[in-house]
Amino acid sequence: MYQILKTQKLADNIYSFVVKARRVAAKCLPGQFVIVRSDADAERIPLTICDYCREEGTITLVFQVVGAGTLRLSKMSEGNFMCDVAGPLGCASELCNTDIEKLKKMNILFVAGGVGTAPVFPQVKWLSNNGVDCDVIIGAKTKDLVILENEIRNYARNLYVTTDDGSYGSKGLVTNTLEDLVKNKGKKYDLCVAIGPMIMMKFVCLTTKALSIPTTVSLNPIMVDGTGMCGACRVTVDNKVKFACVDGPEFDGHLVDFDECMKRAQIYKTEEGRAYLREKEGDTHHGGCSYCGGEH
């Protein structure tokens, strides 16, 4: 059992939980995630690790209420225990496997969209703690939905905030700021890391491709087991089948088939859609998930 030590409402429908999870905290790295269940009957929810403290044995999880499972989770209080916190899952950010001296010579830009700011934070913090500077763009629909601004400001060299409605920072989408920085402000970037809604990552990638900036994205398709068994998180990257939970979640954004990812996420929502995917994907939707009953 995993005790919730602190809860905080970051914005409307967005919560942060500090959870005692000693084994996860001892091993996790930026980019990895956990799958949690609030209780034995609850659904499994994949959540990115937003922060961790090895000494205290805690991890910080940030989530948005998007359905029954996350609503149930949001109702838990400090002192309550979660039934499962499985992880760390997925591969750590590619940055963690790159030579620090090489990183120090690079100009890195993070583009964080909405709740996607949560998985950006540990990467920015990790870089800063290793003496590597980076710039960050945070985009949100409105001022009230900007999260972790101060936390990221503590570690980023430059932080640019954009809101769709102009209620805070500059008005527009993250791609407007990205283009402005490169085309008008003379910024040069060797790498962009974009994390946020799929549609945002798609358009950031179209923008960075035109600007010749290599781009990493972190995909969050529907996940069930998180261990490569069920096929739920199947994505196509460079025309090859990949599973975001074990091969990712990070991929080369210029090679991701975003349209398929978004279409698949829609189809997976219905029983009929899942049956269709079982027929279509066959041997790569290979069983074990609670949705397909382990037939494939």
Applying CB under 6 A, the residues found at the interface with ligand NAD are 48, 113-116, 119, 139-141, 162, 164, 173-175, 195-197, 199-200, 203, 218, 220
Q: Are strands 2-11 and 81-82 parallel, antiparallel or unpaired?
A: antiparallel
Residue 210, exposed/middle/buried by CB under 10 A (0-12, 13-18, 19+)?
Answer: exposed
Least Å distance between CB 205 and ligand NAD? 10
Q: Which of 82, 124, 161, 223 binds ligand FES (CB under 6 A)?
A: 223
Range 73-108 burial, b when 16+ CB lie within 10 A, else e: bbebeeeeebebbbbbbbbbbebbeeeeeebeeeeb
- From the CB of 207, what's the least distance to ligand NAD, in Å? 8
CB of 219 to ligand NAD, least distance (A): 6
Using the contact rule CB under 6 A, the part of the chain among 195-203, 212-220, 226-234, 265-273 near ligand FES is: 226-234
Partner touching 114 among ligand NAD, ligand FES, none, CB below 5 to 8 Å by kind: ligand NAD
Q: Closest distance between ligand FES and the C-beta of residue 230, in Å? A: 3
SS3 (DSSP) at 67: coil
Question: In angstroms, rounded to a whole number, what is the distance separating the alpha carbons of residues 218 and 12?
Answer: 23
Binding partner of 226, given ligand NAD, ligand FES, none, CB within 5-8 angstroms per partner class: ligand FES
Judged by beta carbon, residue 181 or residue 230, the one nearer ligand FES is: 230
Q: Which of 65, 229, 262, 275 binds ligand FES (CB under 6 A)?
A: 229
Nearest residue (CB) to ligand FES, 65 versus 229:
229
* Distance in angstroms (rounded) separating the CA atoms of residues 15 and 8: 6
Q: Is 243 in the site for ligand FES (CB under 6 A)?
A: yes
> Considering the complex, what minimum distance in angstroms separates the CB of residue 259 from ligand NAD?
13
Helix residue ranges per DSSP H, the chain: 22-27, 68-74, 100-104, 117-129, 149-153, 174-183, 198-210, 244-247, 258-267, 271-281
277 binds ligand FES (CB under 6 A): no
Task: List the helix and strand counts (H, then E) for the chain.
Answer: 10, 16
Q: For residue 34, state whether it binds ligand FES (rule: CB under 6 A).
A: no
The answer to whether 43 and 8 have CB atoms below 8 angstroms apart is no
Cβ-based nearer residue to ligand NAD, 137 or 296: 137
The span from the CA of 98 to the CA of 123, in Å, is 13
Residue 136 or 195 having the CB closest to ligand NAD: 195
**Which stretch of DSSP H or E encloses residue 33?**
strand 33-37
Out of ligand NAD, ligand FES, none, what residue 223 binds, judged by CB under 5 to 8 A for its kind, is ligand FES
Beta bridge partners of 113: 139
5 lies in the site for ligand FES, by CB under 6 A: no
Nearest residue to ligand NAD by CB is 114
Asked if 232 is part of the footprint of ligand FES (rule: CB under 6 A), the reply reads yes
Q: Distance (Å, rounded) from C-alpha 141 to C-alpha 117?
A: 13
DSSP conformation letters of 85-104? EEEEESPPPGGGGS-HHHHH
Contact residues: ligand FES, CB under 6 A? 223-226, 228-233, 243, 245
